[in-house]
């Protein structure tokens, strides 16, 4: 596997709508594996293809529900992380309830912002093999999906943020997408 270079603002690819993926070959599988490795190394919880300078409707996400649960005993084993590959994704349902949360982005280092997102969503997409999938997500996972799908449409969290700032020490637990 190969680490891919993450691009930063003001790279214009981050502002363009990515093109649908229609070729599910060995090169795509290698790219997906590379994206997971790049995301983990960064470190982040999500990575969209435009963030590595590829205008493709592809994103990877790795997250464990309860990972940030402050009530989880220290000696408890960490929750198992789930890996998601979403290709040509579309948000098909959203909750009326919206929540504010702090987000960061691997393509906008050194800043975080407060963004309002739907608490729960449903996404239809293709998996890494081109098979249709439907994902229901809520809470922080729903936020990650919305953030990554925005990337595929040329939208950055800073476009939706009510405020953006340089994080302080106490903000260090912000997950980067």
DSSP string, 6-26: PP-TT-GGGGSPPBPP---SH
Coil, strand or helix at 168: coil
By the 8 A CB rule, do 107 and 158 touch? no
In the chain, DSSP finds a helix count (H) and a strand count (E) of 3, 8
Using CA atoms, how far apart are residues 87 and 125, in angstroms rounded to an integer? 6
Residue 37 among the catalytic residues: no
Q: Which of 37, 90, 122, 148 is catalytic?
A: 148
- For the record, the structure tokens of 60 come out as 């990877």
3-class secondary structure, 172 = coil
Catalytic residues: 148
């Amino acid at each position: 596997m190969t680490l891919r270079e993450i691009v930063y603002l003001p790279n214009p690819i981050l502002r363009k709508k990515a093109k649908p993926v229609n070729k599910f070959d060995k090169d795509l599988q290698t790219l997906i594996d590379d994206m997971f490795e790049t995301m983990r190394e960064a470190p982040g919880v999500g990575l969209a293809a435009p963030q590595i300078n590829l205008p493709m409707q592809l994103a990877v996400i790795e997250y464990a529900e309860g990972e940030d649960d402050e009530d989880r005993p220290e000696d408890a084993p960490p929750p198992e992380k789930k890996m998601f590959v979403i290709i040509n994704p579309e948000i098909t349902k959203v909750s009326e309830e919206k929540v504010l949360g702090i987000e960061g982005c691997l393509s906008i280092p050194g800043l975080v912002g407060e963004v309002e997102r739907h608490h729960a969503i449903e996404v239809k997409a293709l998996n890494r093999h081109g098979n249709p999938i439907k994902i229901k997500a809520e809470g922080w996972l729903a936020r990650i999906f919305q953030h990554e799908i925005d990337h595929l449409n040329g939208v950055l969290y800073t476009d939706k943020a009510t405020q953006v700032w340089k994080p302080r020490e106490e903000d260090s637990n912000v997950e980067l997408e």
